[in-house]
């Protein structure tokens, strides 16, 4: 955990002069941070997968599995010209009509678009597929799989939670004052910087009773 934080998670506190009991915290997430998170996910958790389609009762279970790397393309998060680009490597199975089950592999180029929902105080990312390359199956089937994959990512994966404000509130002990303050996360704004995603979280200090 210390290695992950050291690579990609920097925390800077800015005190608002307009109100002495509020502060703004900048959380800076860079490419190394996301790379470490992906490494930990693939090494320690169940391999991510999702249905390719909603078809039931076929010859095989149509499914897409995310891979850490495939055909030289690595699943990652990168920053380019103010955009968040996320290539995704995958393998899967397609139940081709009148044919047998087909195993395929490939990669998808996606762009992550950020959304902040004030009602749930949650920062989401929505993956928009820009291009899909499918290998190991006939070209006619590859085109069908590409279209199914784009629709399935939108239905089964989007949106992805990035930060939930309710989980970011915490208590700060102030021993010299014989008490504690709670930092309540009240809102956020974000910007895509050079090689980083900067999230600015507004905190309100409240006495713990």
Residue 22 lies in a domain: no
Q: How many C-beta atoms lie closer than 10 Å to residue 93's C-beta? A: 19
Q: How many domains are there within the chain?
A: 1
Greater confidence (54 vs 98) lies with 54
Q: Which two tokens stand for residue 150?
A: 């784009």
Average pLDDT value over all residues in the chain: 86
By three-state DSSP, how is residue 55 classified? coil
Radius of gyration of the chain (CA): 21
Q: What's residue 55's pLDDT?
A: 82
pLDDT category of residue 111 using cuts at 50, 70 and 90: very high
Local structure of residue 71 (DSSP, 8 states): T
Of 145, 127, 121, the residue nearest 55 (C-alpha): 145
Cα dihedral across residues 183, 188, 189, 194: positive or negative: positive
Residue 132 lies in a domain: yes
Residue 18 lies in a domain: no
Residue 11 lies in a domain: no
Residue 63 lies in a domain: yes
- The answer, yes or no, to whether residue 15 has pLDDT greater than 60, is no
By three-state DSSP, how is residue 66 classified? strand
Range of the domain at 107: 47-113+126-159
Q: What's residue 35's pLDDT?
A: 95
Local structure of residue 50 (DSSP, 8 states): E
Q: What's residue 20's pLDDT?
A: 53
Residue 70 lies in a domain: yes
Phi-psi region of 98 (alpha: psi -120 to 50; beta: other; left: phi over 0): left
pTM beyond 0.85: no
Q: What's residue 37's pLDDT?
A: 94
- The answer, yes or no, to whether residue 65 has pLDDT greater than 60, is yes
Q: What's residue 123's pLDDT?
A: 94
Location of structure tokens 């089937």: 141
What's the mean pLDDT in 108-123? 93
Residue 198 lies in a domain: no
Instruction: Render pLDDT for 133-147 as a digit per residue (tens, 0 to 9).
Output: 999 888 888 889 999
Q: What's residue 3's pLDDT?
A: 46
Whole-number Cα distances in Å, 153 to 20, 51, 170, 176: 45, 9, 34, 52
Residue 56 lies in a domain: yes
Exposed/middle/buried for residue 61 (C-beta within 10 Å: 0-12, 13-18, 19+): exposed
Choice among 127-131, 161-165, 175-179 with the minimum mean pLDDT = 175-179
Q: How many C-beta atoms lie closer than 10 Å to residue 203's C-beta? A: 25
What is the C-alpha separation between 134 and 204, in angstroms, rounded?
49
Q: What's residue 96's pLDDT?
A: 86
């Amino acid at each position: 955990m210390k290695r992950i934080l050291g690579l990609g998670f920097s925390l800077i506190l800015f005190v608002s002069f307009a109100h002495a009991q509020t502060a703004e915290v900048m959380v800076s997430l860079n490419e190394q941070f996301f790379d470490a998170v992906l490494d930990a996910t693939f090494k320690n958790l169940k391999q991510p997968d999702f249905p390719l389609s909603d078809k039931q009762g076929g010859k095989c279970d149509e499914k897409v599995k995310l891979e850490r790397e495939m055909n030289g393309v690595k699943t990652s998060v990168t920053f380019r010209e103010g955009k968040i680009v996320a290539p995704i490597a995958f393998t899967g199975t397609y139940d081709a009509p009148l044919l047998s089950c087909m195993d395929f592999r490939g990669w998808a180029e996606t762009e992550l678009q950020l959304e902040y929902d004030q009602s749930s105080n949650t920062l989401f990312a929505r993956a928009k597929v820009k291009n899909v390359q499918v290998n190991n199956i006939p070209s006619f089937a590859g085109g069908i799989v590409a279209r199914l994959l784009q629709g399935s990512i939108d239905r089964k994966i989007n949106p992805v939670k990035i930060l939930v404000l309710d989980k970011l509130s915490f208590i700060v002990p102030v021993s010299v004052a014989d008490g504690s303050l709670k930092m309540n996360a009240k809102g956020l704004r974000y910007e895509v910087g050079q090689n980083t995603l900067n999230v600015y979280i507004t905190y309100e200090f409240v006495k713990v009773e």
